């Protein structure tokens, strides 16, 4: 346990984390901070290093340099990386009992039944795991990870291959555990639409490097619909927006002014032209989180 993090609101910090396989650098000076009680989404293209980060955090791989620091004991960390081992000719309960026995858990049958109920597998009876759907196997893997009441859970592509109903059920389970049990999550996924619904914080990874780390509130501000304006005199345009149109919710994006909120494009155009400004471009832009993330995933900041 890191003394530095003991009294802080962070569950995890990595500092200058590096990992190589052979001569190939997979993780490059990674610094991320995961707040306690958050649902922290790792986003990146295939091969960007998301799974390796999780393996390093769980202790399944060792960094070449850098540190991973926690604010609690490692015994309270759990995770599902890739495909966990299951006994295909056993049912869900027997698989859970084997996991409990291996971990030395007391009251294993009671705990196993409770966890199977938690993940929606309480009524699957004697059905063998080899006959489970992908969604049922994902739920069973989640039940495995909940043995021992972890405070910090890492899930690698938990919604991969699920149908829309399965994705909703997985999403609801994650949110329930987060809110009711105060479990901190790190989740990797390429299904952006599902992550947007549950994540409180994001880290965008490109080629093992952190491109950007931000909260959900910051994301909403970044992708808020706006009017993009480019003129020959920015200072004068801003003055007119303030004095003539009472607009003060804007930001600069390069040579353009991004105006947020309910705006009347025609009125903006009228006032600026009336005051002898040359409008090079003016257009309404809808918020597009997919385009925003794709740019970041490509290394654009």
* 3 state SS for the chain: CCCCCCCCCEEEEEEEEEEEECCEEEEEEECCEEECCCEEEEECCCCCCHHHHHHHHHCCCCCCEEEEEECCCHHHEEEECCCCCCCCCCEHHHHHHHHHHHHCCCCHHHHHHHHHHHCCCCCCCCCEHHHCCHHHHHHHHHHHHHCCCCCEEEEECCCCCCCHHHHHHHHHHHHHHHHHHCCEEEEECCCHHHHHHHCCEEEEEECCEEEEEEEHHHHHHHCCCEEEEEECCHHHHHHHHHHCCCCCCEEEECCEEEEECCCCHHHHHHHHHHCCCCEEEEEEECCCHHHHHHHHHCCCC
249-264 per-position pLDDT tens digit: 888 888 899 888 777 8
Share of the chain above pLDDT 70, in %: 96
119-176 per-position pLDDT tens digit: 989 999 999 999 998 889 989 999 999 999 999 999 999 988 788 888 898 999 999 9
Q: Is the pLDDT of residue 292 over 90?
A: no
Q: Is the pLDDT of residue 185 over 90?
A: yes
Q: Is the pLDDT of residue 1 over 80?
A: no
* pLDDT tier for residue 5 given thresholds of 50, 70 and 90: low
Q: What is the pTM of this model?
A: 0.79
Q: Which region among 48-52, 78-82, 128-132, 220-224 has the lowest average model confidence (pLDDT)? A: 220-224
**Per-residue model confidence (pLDDT) at position 8:** 62
Q: Is the pLDDT of residue 301 over 50?
A: no
């Amino acid at each position: 346990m890191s003394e530095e993090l003991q009294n802080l609101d962070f569950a995890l910090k990595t500092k200058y984390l590096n990992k190589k396989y052979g001569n190939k650098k997979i993780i490059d000076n990674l610094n991320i901070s995961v707040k306690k009680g958050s649902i922290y989404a790792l986003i990146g293209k295939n091969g960007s290093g998301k799974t390796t980060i999780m393996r390093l955090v769980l202790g399944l791989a060792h960094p070449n340099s850098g540190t991973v620091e926690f604010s609690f004991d490692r015994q309270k960390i759990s995770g599902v990386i890739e495909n966990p081992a299951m006994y295909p000719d056993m049912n869900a309960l027997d698989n859970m009992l084997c996991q409990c026995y291996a971990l030395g858990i007391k009251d294993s049958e009671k705990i196993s039944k409770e966890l199977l109920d938690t993940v929606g597998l309480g009524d699957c009876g004697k059905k063998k795991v080899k006959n489970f759907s992908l969604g049922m196997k994902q739920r069973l893997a989640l039940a495995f990870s909940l043995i021992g009441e972890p405070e910090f859970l890492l899930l690698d592509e938990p919604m991969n291959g699920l149908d829309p109903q399965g994705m909703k059920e997985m999403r609801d389970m994650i949110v329930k555990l987060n809110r009711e049990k105060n479990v901190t999550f790190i989740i990797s996924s390429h299904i952006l639409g599902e992550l947007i619904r549950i994540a409180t914080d994001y880290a965008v990874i490109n080629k093992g490097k952190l491109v950007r780390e931000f909260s959900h509130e910051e994301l909403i501000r970044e992708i808020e619909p706006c009017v993009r304006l480019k003129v020959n005199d920015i200072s004068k345009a801003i003055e007119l927006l303030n004095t003539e149109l009472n607009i003060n919710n804007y930001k600069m994006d390069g040579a353009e002014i991004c105006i947020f909120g309910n705006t009347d494009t025609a009125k903006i155009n009228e006032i600026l032209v009336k005051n002898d400004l040359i409008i090079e471009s003016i257009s309404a832009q809808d918020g597009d989180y997919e385009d925003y993330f794709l740019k970041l995933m490509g290394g654009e900041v």
